[in-house]
């Protein structure tokens, strides 16, 4: 058995291995674009290792892990993060899976190691390698807004209860059935299916904030959303004050296989001024567009307490996730407190890890 660097030419074998082990896998171009179009690799580190593969005696790939560079900012300082994904090992070779995870978690010059799609096993393995769950207000609670209440409730009840607690279930259902919110908006937003250069300026302003966030300039957003950009699956609601972009909300429309629902997932929600009532209206606009596209549900994972309260006020309800999927191994003391000791400020979401590639 041997662990070697993964190569873009390994696509077919990795795809087959992943599918054999029940993992969804990207189309070839989408998979290659994760690294071929990544701004950090293109501009700074062309020899970035895209992942590792486990080879058996016949040189066949029997395990793999992806390694994706992300840039984060906090207080105008830049941090290089490695995001892991697609950790898969054939059952026969399962004891070797930790070797792959160890390769990922022991690279040079990486400040943050992140996964935000951890299942119960990878959660425990990451913790064994000294990664920790982020401390973020109610990260475990997904927020949902039902557009097709009847269909969604029937499908949820068929599958599993909303919470694993009967009283909370009943409360959630009552909230959902009788919580009618006013979705009127006064602001005329600019709506697009892509990102323009105004995001570069917005990102420069966001950088100065004491919030840890993954970079939001045009080239990084273009890369992150390359699978859905300029399609009616990606919607970007832009809030301008005059000619200046002061906030935006992005969401991705997708089909939820588990519950057979058409879902819109809010992946980005950033703004410069917390007190601007238009932040509420961006969420309402997202609901209205989702309704136009016959989505059954709008959902959100993550975001800080302030944003979560916006969703709550608009009528989103909680759905507890089965496990805590966001873990970080941090080697930068200056962001240790932000990640693990200040639950009301941390603002992580799907866009800050590999979850963004599985929408």
Name the site residues for another protein (rule: CB under 8 A).
1-3, 93-99, 101-102, 106, 121, 124-125, 128-130
Cβ 115 to another protein, closest distance in Å? 14
Cβ 299 to another protein, closest distance in Å? 29
Residue with tokens 């070697």: 4
Q: In the chain, which ranges are continuous DSSP H helix?
A: 11-20, 28-36, 39-43, 97-105, 120-128, 149-159, 166-178, 198-207, 218-224, 278-292, 305-314, 336-340
Measured from the CB atom, is 103 or 284 closer to another protein?
103
- Dihedral of the alpha carbons of 279, 283, 286, 291, in degrees to the nearest 10: -150
Measured from the CB atom, is 30 or 120 closer to another protein?
120
What is the rounded distance in angstroms from the CA atom of residue 250 to the CA atom of residue 234? 7
Cβ 79 to another protein, closest distance in Å? 22
Terminus-to-terminus CA distance in the chain, angstroms?
A: 33
Measured from the CB atom, is 38 or 86 closer to another protein?
86
Query: Phi first, then psi: what are they for 51, rounded to 5°?
Result: 155, -170
Cβ 146 to another protein, closest distance in Å? 36
Measured from the CB atom, is 5 or 150 closer to another protein?
5
Cβ 191 to another protein, closest distance in Å? 45
Measured from the CB atom, is 64 or 125 closer to another protein?
125
Measured from the CB atom, is 106 or 341 closer to another protein?
106
Residues 6+ apart with CB under 8 A from 337: none
Report CA torsion sign: 17, 20, 21, 22.
Answer: positive
Cβ 102 to another protein, closest distance in Å? 4
């Amino acid at each position: 058995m041997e662990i070697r660097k993964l190569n873009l030419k390994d696509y077919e074998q990795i795809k087959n291995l992943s599918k054999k082990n029940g993992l969804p896998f990207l189309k070839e171009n989408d998979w290659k674009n994760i690294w071929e179009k990544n701004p950090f690799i293109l501009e700074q580190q062309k020899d970035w290792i895209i992942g590792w593969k486990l080879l058996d005696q016949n040189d066949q790939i029997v395990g793999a892990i992806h390694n994706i560079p992300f840039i984060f900012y906090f207080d105008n300082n830049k941090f290089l993060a490695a995001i892991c994904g697609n950790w898969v090992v054939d059952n026969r070779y399962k004891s070797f899976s930790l070797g792959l995870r160890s390769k990922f978690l022991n690279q040079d010059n990486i400040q943050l190691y992140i996964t935000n799609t951890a299942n119960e096993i990878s959660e425990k393995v990451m913790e064994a390698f000294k990664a920790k769950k982020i401390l973020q207000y109610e990260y475990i609670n997904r927020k949902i807004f039902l557009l097709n209440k009847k269909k969604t409730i029937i499908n949820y009840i068929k599958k599993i209860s909303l919470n694993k607690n009967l009283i909370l279930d009943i409360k959630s259902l009552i909230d959902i059935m009788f919580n009618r919110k006013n979705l009127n908006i006064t602001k005329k937003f600019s709506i697009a299916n892509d990102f323009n250069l105004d995001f570069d300026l917005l990102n420069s302003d966001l950088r100065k904030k004491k919030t840890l966030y993954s970079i939001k300039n045009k080239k990084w957003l273009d890369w992150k959303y390359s699978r859905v950009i300029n399609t009616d699956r990606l919607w970007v609601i832009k809030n301008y004050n005059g000619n200046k972009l002061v906030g935006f909300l992005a969401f991705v429309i997708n089909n939820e296989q588990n519950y057979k629902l058409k879902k819109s997932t809010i992946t980005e929600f950033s703004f410069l001024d917390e007190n601007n009532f238009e932040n509420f209206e961006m969420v309402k606009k997202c609901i209205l567009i989702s309704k136009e596209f016959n989505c059954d549900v709008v959902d959100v994972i993550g975001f800080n307490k302030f944003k979560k309260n916006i969703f709550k006020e608009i009528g989103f309800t909680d759905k507890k996730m089965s496990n805590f999927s966001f873990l970080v191994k941090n080697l930068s003391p200056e962001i240790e407190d932000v990640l693990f000791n200040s639950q009301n400020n941390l603002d992580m979401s799907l866009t800050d890890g590999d979850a963004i590639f599985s929408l």
